[in-house]
Structure 1
């Protein structure tokens, strides 16, 4: 039976980022790491109009720079030079600018397929081995670690198992790790849009009585749309023909980018804030969406998971104990607890504040947006949260 120092269950963006963050130190220590992933990475990146994308904060850029990967990622990363925040039909608005913040960009939008390709190509097969396509069907705590039963009928053991298998983790449930859920009563419609005018690196966060929406810049003058509505209405929008869909979107978004000309495939996802009640046990870490799934409107979910992965790697490599040592894992948890609390709280409060239709709240949030644009300290704080720099002592 094969034995590994670390087994990362899930070779997606979070799992692969953790492997990359560990790679140099693992090579020095002679650690063996395995990534277990049900979907084989593609041999080459294939551009697609409908590609799903992620918003990377400026803080995420710093992490990937330190790992030596940013130059490659940046080839297809669209910089966010300005963010416009507005409330439909009301006077409050705010603008955040990379120039004002003294950074090259507030963040970047990257297609997931490209980011994944960059990560996978950056992994050294002499340090990081793959089991793909393969799924972990069972996990059993054994002396000094975990035994994993795979879908190909093989087994392996590890000092530390990292669950990075997504928000609907069956293994998390199998291990008896409960979750705290707060449904938003909304779904997100995700699609790519082409506007008539150049987006010029602008991102838009717009809040309406039906729910918030975001339009983020992509390469080839496309924009990534995240449109949040109640579940039934989101399904209705997804079923509209292209002309009617663009007409409704135009009515809500306005003509900030001229006429909206094309929409790609539309996907709908129900939205619930999910937090695992346990993130570490002896020889076990829960990471990524398996640990916390956030509302997408604030663009904080993947960035928080990346900071978690970076902090976990640094904590493991700073320790002289085996990777699954409980005291080491508890240090990681303490290291990231405040970041998680602030980021989850920031994302949840923004979502609930701008999802409310109560008149007192709408008046207050519009005054807040106006004050945000007029008061430099408040604006600076908000910008640092958006850039993923406000919760890290080393930011």
Structure 2
């Protein structure tokens, strides 16, 4: 029987981020991951890029990983929002908010590589068990007894806290019978990259169309990542197009703000859905990341929301070592539930509302949302409030979200950003 303070089921981007955040906390952390260490790539470290918010950059800075992924991260200095064929538009700008960038477009693979390197260096406090499969669970008054199969051999674990970080189809959440609110949108996200003829470095576009948002995100090397929301009935046809026909369809959808689009990359499609766990915690159990919430990709909030889960839970757990509290006790779980529930609900409502509002064809709604975009562009207080929401820096922030390491070391330069933002807002 191996003893841990917490066992994280799921070693993807969110689960590994929590393990790395706690590597200097003095807690003994176990990670149970289904993918082998020598696998060509982790399924969550795929070809996607992630629009990391300023708050997420700070979290990775506090964990000590931002420098490892910085070279592949393209800053977003302006966001241009519009509706195809309509008059409304709005712009958010980093210089108005007093920051270097509103966010950073970063390949998931680069984030995964930084996390893997961290885990390799943290073997004194973090044990990663893979390829592993959960075989049995038994709840005890002081924790959980877990049986896993690792490369065909059975191992028994004991932990004070169990963390579900195994994605939207969480096997652990289903095994424990935790209810969710789930709704399919009937749309897919088609992901690819293109190279524009007239690049605008640092500018991201969110263009709403009759089938949903089309995002164009700047990447390093002069490329742009495409996140095209399409009706699921149209997905197969779009994937089957040759490169020339696909570029023509994309150009007609997006327009010519970046000139002529060329050199499309490999296309991948993901079904879109809304999923919210009705319970964030259970007896000595916490849900984080997509296991707790899976969102529409509009405004790129899903992974950033999961990292804020990591920051809050890591903050609470790091203090248990100093204060002698139980890592799986009521204080930690109640604190996590209280700190995270409202943010999760607000972001889910925002992304779901935007996705539905901008696909509604009613003329009165179309007029109203375009007037709303113009009003947003003309009203600085409204722009600041929306920018802070999307940057993930509103309200009370845990240490990692302020760029502060959990072990009390030196802060990253995120503290300077905080001062500038405060001055701008005032």
Q: TM-score, normalised by structure 2?
A: 0.87
**CA deviation profile, 1:20-48 (whole Å, cap 9, x unmatched):** 2212222xxxx2111111224569999xx
Report SS of the residue matched to 1:74.
Answer: helix
Q: 1:118-149: per-residue Cα shift (whole Å, max 9, x none)?
A: 12212311111110121223332123111222
Is the aligned partner of 1:318 residue 2:319? yes
Instruction: Give deviations 1:100-134, integer Å, cap 9, x for gaps.
Output: 11110110011111101112212311111110121
SS of the equivalent of 1:234 reads: helix
Superposed CA deviations along residues 175-200 of structure 1, whole A, max 9, x for unmatched, are 00011013222111111222223231
Q: More deviation in 86-95 or 319-328?
A: 319-328
* Structure-1 residue corresponding to 2:366: 362
Out of 97, 100, 125, the residue aligned to residue 104 of structure 1 is 100
Pairwise CA RMSD of aligned residues?
A: 1.9
Kept after mapping to 2: 8 A contact 1:188/1:226: yes
Q: CA deviation at 1:392?
A: 4.1
In the aligned structure 2, how far is the partner of 1:111 from the partner of 1:373? 30
Kindly tell me the number of residue pairs found equivalent between the two proteins.
Answer: 388
- Which stretches in structure 1 are left out of the alignment for 5+ residues? none
Asked whether the equivalents of residues 37 and 131 of structure 2 are also in contact (C-alpha less than 8 Å), the reply is no
Equivalent position of 1:275 in the other structure: 276
Name the structure 2 match of 1:146: 144
Q: What SS does structure 2 have at the residue aligned with 1:229?
A: strand
Describe the superposition over 1:342-362 as per-residue Cα deviations: whole angstroms up to 9, x where unpaired.
222221222121122111111
Cα distance in 2, alignment partners of residues 262 and 89 from structure 1 = 26
Picking from 82, 88, 95, the partner of 2:91 is: 95
Q: Which residue of 2 aligns with 1:176?
A: 177
Q: How far 1:248 sits from its partner (Å)?
A: 0.3
How far is the alpha carbon of 1:282 from its aligned partner? 1.9
The reply to whether residue 22 of structure 1 matches residue 22 of structure 2 is yes
The corresponding residue for 2:13 is 13
- On the 8 A contact 1:193/1:223 being kept in 2, the answer is yes
Whole-Å separation in 2 of the counterparts to 1:146 and 1:169: 18
Structure-2 change in CA distance of 1:371 and 1:42 (3 Å): farther
Aligned match of 1:2: 2
- C-alpha distance in structure 2 between counterparts of 1:43 and 1:76, whole Å: 22
Deviation at 1:96, TM superposition (A): 1.0
The equivalent residue for 1:297 is 298
Render the CA deviation track for 1:294-325: whole Å, top value 9, x for unaligned.
11121010101101111001112223322111
1:210 and 2:206 equivalent?
A: no
Q: Which piece of structure 1 moves more, 81-90 or 34-43?
A: 34-43
Q: TM-score, structure 1 length as denominator?
A: 0.94
